[in-house]
Chain A
Amino acid sequence: MITVNCLSHWFGDKQVLDNLSLTVRDGEILGLIGVNGAGKSTFLRLISGVMTPTEGDVWYDGLPISKGETRKNMFFLPDDPFYEVGMNCRDLFNLYQTFYPGIQRDVFDDLIGFAGLPSRKPLSSFSKGMRRQAFSAIAFAIAPKYLLLDEAFDGLDPLARERFKGMVREQANRGCTIIISSHALKELDGFCDNYLVLSDKRFISPDHVAAKISSLVKFQVVFETEPTKVMFEALKLRHYQQNGRVVTLIAEGDEQIIRKRIDALQPILVDRLEIEPGEILIDTMEELTRGGGSL
């Protein structure tokens, strides 16, 4: 279990994180979402021991992260990980084998082979996605108890992304606790067990997200002729997507009132849809990015 207690951090005079507390259960996949510069990477650096928090502490199974011993069970994959000039996949494996003696060579070789990565070519000649796959292979071969992934999907093609998700899920199934950050909300949608939005130095509370879900409603509406967005101005729209005569919308307010207003537009079909958690987060983040939200 990862426990973060009242964590705050300053860069000089500027506060970047404010009083963050968090508990992550064993085997949980937690999605950490936030716009660029929200502090996701800083948060991951703090809970991985790379940085020391100005205030607060971080514990892994009751042990402080500041101790090297604690980090034996943890692997942090940063956005842009270190590799020496001229280092290839084999050298990378040797480096991590030094610190994680339990790393499984066969798993690493399999993953590298499956991704089609040349093991003797320097990593500097790889594309960002290829490098990402090489480091992911290291992470999965180490099979740590705690896995922290920063912007994990960056540079991965759709196929590699799906494979990566499958591997992450596999790790979680064997009890690995995973925190994965991304600014691309759609990547994490339906993949994580829980989500946290980091904005304005703080986490958006799960209660807030739950309250959001109960206040929003999603409809798919089909019209005889192509509609315009102006027709829906009576609704407090949170999301609007139009594909010809078909409109998908998320609106805030009482469901019955919203339904009546939509019916007044005389559609030929109205379908009530379920809202995915990711959509709520998109909505919440957009609201916060516009400066409209406060928690």
Chain B
Amino acid sequence: MSIEMRYFKYHFWETRIRLVILCVLSVLYFSNMADYSDGILAVDYMVYAGFVLAVFVPIREFQMFNTRRNLDTWFSMPIDRWKMALVHLLNGALHIALTLLTGMLFVALHVSTSAAYYNLFQLVAYYLIMLALTLLAYGFFCFVFTQANSTTDGTLFIINYLFLPTVFYVFMDQYFENTPRVFYGIVTLMGTTSRGLQSVFWGDGRFSNSFWTAEFGTGSGSELFIVNLVLNVLICGAATVFMLRLFNRKHTEKVEDVSDSWFGFRTLIPVMAVLTITSPSGLAAYTFRIVFIYVAYVIYRKGVHLKRSDYCVIAVYAALLLMMACVSPADSSFSWLL
């Protein structure tokens, strides 16, 4: 048996308690949340479960690599780093699959013993679709988390990426009309709305509440859905592969230090600042926003001593805010400047 296989067995066994807890929570969750009375599975709840797993499991699987002391041991072991990362990636994927499966089996058991009409084949297909989407999101969040040099930073990266697509479209809606929703992010793809994957599969199934009835943007739902799906598969797939490659080149000495990845704070702070920019409605709001971005940089740099480039971003942001206050229509937002 290869070292990778032995490590996978070891790691799976060592994380068995986490798996049991997740499975128990899954059963408790579905027993409380799902509604089978009319034969319709409340699919949103499965989405939430998958979504929480896709965020939680990467943190648990990869947080051990965010301690310098641990790396002295792990990175001197006779296994390539990317293979070690692959073991953790696969173990997390297996945990997600088994947790969702436990939930699904519980649902299947419940509906098969109740009077509710239910097509179990649809349930299996639905499970597989949700699993595929959850694993896509999981791979992406593994990439995001491993770009950080600490668990806190990694968690903050994930939170930022969760909101990024939505924030982007809110921004686009504000300044551009009829923005096509070509990419709404994996979270939306997992949803049960017209943009969700199950809407395509269950067009004439029991999930009538999740049909692709609504249209959005400038195109039809199904066309944009396919674009969204392809984009998500490409982005998440590339992120997962990229994660394994970057893991091989991880700078051990930077662990527990500032997370200066281009996929982290360095890019996220200015991008989120610009995407959430609106005309400040008064001096207090203006000051608050600048203080807020300053605090974001303090979190990034783990101290109050910022770099010149950080001050430049804050200065540009302050100038942009001021400019917006000046050029905005004659309303209260400009009056504070006078």
Report A's interface with B, CB cutoff 8 A: 11, 42, 45, 48-52, 67-72, 74-76, 78-82, 84, 94-95, 98-101
Does any Cβ of A come within 8 Å of B302's Cβ? no
Please tell me if the beta carbons of A99 and B69 are within 8 angstroms of each other in the complex.
no
Please tell me if the beta carbons of B78 and A45 are within 8 angstroms of each other in the complex.
no
Does any Cβ of A come within 8 Å of B70's Cβ? yes
Query: How many Å lie between the Cα of A290 and that of B256 in the bound state?
Result: 32
Q: List 7 A-B contacts (CB under 8 A).
A: A51-B251, A80-B69, A82-B70, A82-B72, A98-B7, A99-B3, A99-B77
Residues of B close to A95: CB separation below 8 A: 10
Please tell me if the beta carbons of B73 and A78 are within 8 angstroms of each other in the complex.
yes
Say whether, besides A98-B6, A98-B7, A50 and B69 are in contact (CB < 8 Å): no
Contact of B249 among A52, A74, A76, A99 (CB under 8 A): A52
What band does the interface of chain B fall in when counting residues whose beta carbon is under 8 Å from A?
Answer: 20 to 34
Q: Is the interface of B mostly helix, strand, loop or mixed?
A: helix
Does any Cβ of A come within 8 Å of B292's Cβ? no
Query: How many Å lie between the Cα of A94 and that of B7 in the bound state?
Result: 11
Report B's interface with A, CB cutoff 8 A: 3, 6-7, 9-10, 14, 69-81, 83, 249, 251-253
Query: B74: shortest Cβ distance to chain A, in Å?
Result: 7
Please tell me if the beta carbons of B76 and A68 are within 8 angstroms of each other in the complex.
no
Query: How many Å lie between the Cα of A42 and that of B79 in the bound state?
Result: 20
Say whether, besides A50-B252, A99-B7, A45 and B79 are in contact (CB < 8 Å): no
Please tell me if the beta carbons of B10 and A74 are within 8 angstroms of each other in the complex.
no
Contact of A68 among B3, B14, B253 (CB under 8 A): B3
Query: How many Å lie between the Cα of A68 and that of B251 in the bound state?
Result: 17
Query: A65: shortest Cβ distance to chain B, in Å?
Result: 9
Residues of A close to B6: CB separation below 8 A: 98-99, 101
Contact of B76 among A11, A42, A76, A98 (CB under 8 A): A76
- Smallest Cβ-Cβ distance to B10: which chain A residue: A98
Query: B248: shortest Cβ distance to chain A, in Å?
Result: 9
Query: How many Å lie between the Cα of A79 and that of B72 in the bound state?
Result: 9
Query: How many Å lie between the Cα of A50 and that of B68 in the bound state?
Result: 10
Residues of A close to B14: CB separation below 8 A: 84
Residues of A close to B83: CB separation below 8 A: 68
Residues of A close to B77: CB separation below 8 A: 68, 71, 99
Say whether, besides A51-B253, A99-B3, A101-B6, A71 and B78 are in contact (CB < 8 Å): yes
Please tell me if the beta carbons of A49 and B69 are within 8 angstroms of each other in the complex.
no
Please tell me if the beta carbons of A51 and B252 are within 8 angstroms of each other in the complex.
yes
Query: A34: shortest Cβ distance to chain B, in Å?
Result: 18
